[in-house]
Structure 1
Amino acid sequence: MSGAVDLSALKQPPAGAAPAAAGDHMVTEADFETKVLHRSAQVPVVVVLYSQRSPGSIELVQLLERLVGEAGGAWDLAAVEAESNMRIAQAFGVQGIPTVIAVAGGQPLADFQGTQPEAQVSQWLAAVVQAVEGKLEGDPAAPQEERADPRFAAAEALLEQGDLAGAESAYESIVTQEPGNTEAKAALRQVKFLGRAQELPESAIATSDADPSNVAAALDAADVELFQQQPEAAFDRLIGLVARTAGDERTAVRIRLLELFELFDQAEPFVVAARRKLATALY
């Protein structure tokens, strides 16, 4: 198992009863970043994904709890109830329960699936600890003495003052100086959208609904819906228009959709779903 663990889409943990196992080592989506990703910069963290409905997986959790208590801090344990934290399981690409993954430096290092004898688990843990010995450098979330980029500070100050035009100009200047600066590009996209959307009346949605073939009205309505934190509605409106238009009109709508997608993390489920719908509408 390799590659970054991307949990950027996790915002709120799903509701659910507390697991029947795990004790102090229980981890959910809400504290995964702190207890696993950050902690794994100091010692390897063994993540066990289990189910309350699987006695065998609960026994494995209990075995790992005993072993971590005997490990003297050489590694840490994170017990995740998979059914209550599906996005963690999906991030790791888990195929079966229980699954155990060793995370070091924020990255999956090794894994195994299914219950195992204690001797084999102990041998696996020893190999994990040995593999990272002397290679972990500390918590990347710890405060760093970094000097803030004064260009970004100036742009953010303009934003706080409500000067969107000034902030847009400041971010454009950074992008001109550093075409590869992804942070400045993302900020510029956001500011441009805000500057456009906040000037639109809420009635833009009703106007578009009254005349679904009006491309300009649909673009305005989608901006308002996105400004009102209804991205799915905005995307669906424009995807429907893509399916009904052709030529320059279709191109204009498609370009606006792609611009709106770029305002979000591309791994967000609603962005992924909208991109699939767009592909269907186009082809």
Structure 2
Amino acid sequence: MTDSASQPGVPAGGASGANLRGAIDLSSLKPPASTAAPTNSGGSAKSFAVDATEQTFPELVQLSAEVPVVVALYASWSPQSLSVAATLERLVAAYAGRILLARGDIEAFPQLAQAFGVQGVPAAVALVKGQPVPLFNGELAEAETQRYLEELLKVAAANGVSGNLGDAAAEPVEAPMPPLHQEAVEAIDRGDLAAAEAAYRKALAESPADAEAKAGLAQVRLMQRTEGLDAAAADAVRSKAAELPDDLPAQLAVADLDLVGGHVEDALNRVVGFIATHPGSSAESDREQARVRVLELFEIVGISDPRVAKARQALARALF
């Protein structure tokens, strides 16, 4: 597979004639009992981006009979792949349901890269009627990326795939929540964070690649750390961190407050900044603890968030 972004699977001309059959064998991706559907990413508008996991992939294949599904393959060690995923999520949202984006973490779900024959990231592949359509490899300009999406829609239409997941007239399809996820949400609703943590941990023990459980656990741990903090206590936490810039627990506590308050960049920059300013063997334990914590914060914010992609680049520089 070439690393060049100039080898698209959907050509600029004659896209409607693309052959959708027999490109690769997806049968190795076994269908566990779960579904994938568009989710709300936190705002009032519907998000047409989901995570491609072992659980959700079979439903993504089925959905590709209604709309083309773009699979953005990424890895935490590749800032470029995170940037591509973020760009695709932004562009796909503008199509309001005519395209679905599936984010595929090849570290958590290596079978996905193997099935598509992808040798490296960034890479984007589409599914139309369950069949793969290679899009591009490497990082492209946003306008060029959008051109591939437009050509993909032509391929899809030529093969009878022209649905819209955002069609208001269509009957909404609710994705059933896995039992342990439901248990965790109910525990949060009744204020039992310990039970919610236990449910998410059990879900991860059963399926280590469960991205939603991983993010849920990180969110619950954040809630536990900030539970019961009133304004006076928060002020005291910030004052301590200002007085003790080399005290890691104090800096992590302020990062938690920033994240809860919606100051995402401040939270990420504080932890990454601590790592960057504390080199040397004597600080390795603190640096590792900070690294683990900032990865948790990434999970909470969302790996495709541009602020996370930027912070990952800064983290790589700080570590290496």
TM-score, L = length of structure 2 = 0.49
Aligned to 2:96: 34
The 2-side partners of 1:168 and 1:267 are apart by 24
* Correspondence 1:261 to 2:298: yes
Matched length: 192
- 1:279 and 2:316 are equivalent in the alignment: yes
Measured at CA, do residues 155 and 248 of structure 1 come closer, stay the same or move farther in structure 2, by a change above 3 Å? closer
Matched residue SS, 1:36: coil
Structure 1 residue 159 corresponds to structure 2 residue 188: yes
Offset of residue 149 of structure 1: 3.4
1:219 aligns with 2:252: yes
Distance 1:157 1:94 in 2: 43
Contact persistence 2:97–2:164 (CA under 8 A) = no
With over 3 angstroms needed to count, the CA separation of the structure-2 counterparts of 1:273 and 1:12, relative to structure 1, is farther
Is the CA contact (8 Å cut-off) linking 1:151 and 1:170 kept in structure 2? yes
Query: Residue in 2 aligned with 1:68?
Result: none
Residue pair 1:175, 1:184 contacting (<8 A) in 2 also = yes
Q: What is the letter of the counterpart of residue 143 of structure 2?
A: V
Counterparts in 2 of 1:157-236, with a 5 A limit? 157-200=186-229, 201-203=233-235, 204-236=237-269
Distance in 1, Cα, partners of 2:253 & 2:299? 17
Q: In 2 relative to 1, CA 109–209 (structure 1 residues): closer, same or farther, beyond 3 Å?
A: same
Q: Say whether 1:102 aligns with 2:102.
A: no
2:275 to 233, 236, 242: 242
Inter-CA distance 147–219: structure 2 relative to 1 (3 Å threshold): closer
Q: Deviation per CA, 1:9-29, whole angstroms, max 9, x where unpaired?
A: 89699xxxxxxxxxxxxxx97
Change (3 A) 1:155 1:95: closer
Deviations 1:41-89 (A, max 9, x none): xxxxxxxxxxxxxxxxxxxxxxxxxxxxxxxxxxxxxxxxxxxxxxxxx
RMSD: 3.9
Give, in angstroms, the shift of residue 190 of structure 1. Answer: 1.3
Q: Give me the whole-angstrom Cα distance separating, in 2, the residues matched to 1:10 and 1:164.
A: 21
In 2, Cα distance between the equivalents of 1:31 and 1:247? 41
Q: Percent identity?
A: 28
Structure 1 unaligned spans of 5+: 14-27, 39-89, 111-126
Distance in 2 (alpha carbons) for counterparts of 1:128 and 1:174 = 36
Distance of aligned partners of 1:171 and 1:250 in 2 relative to their CA distance in 1, 3 Å threshold: closer
SS at match of 1:263: helix
Query: What is the one-letter code of the residue matched to 1:102?
Result: E
Q: Distance in 2 between matches of 1:268 and 1:91?
A: 18
Q: How does 1:141-152 map to 2 (within 5 A)?
A: 142-144=171-173, 147-152=176-181
Separation in 1, partners of 2:205, 2:159: 42
CA shift for structure 1 position 147: 4.9
Q: Which amino acid aligns with 1:281?
A: A
Question: How far apart are 1:276 and its partner, in Å?
Answer: 1.5
The correspondence for 2:307, drawn from 270, 278, 282, is: 270
Which residue in the other structure is 1:93 paired with?
142
Do the aligned partners of 1:9 and 1:268 also contact (CA within 8 Å) in 2? no
Q: Given that residues 214 and 299 in structure 2 are in contact (C-alpha distance below 8 angstroms), is that contact kept between their aligned partners in structure 1?
A: no
114, 132, 145: which one pairs with 2:159?
Answer: 132
**SS class of match (1:262):** helix
TM-score by length of 1: 0.55
Q: Answer 1 or 2: higher relative contact order, Cα 8 Å, separation at least 6.
A: 2
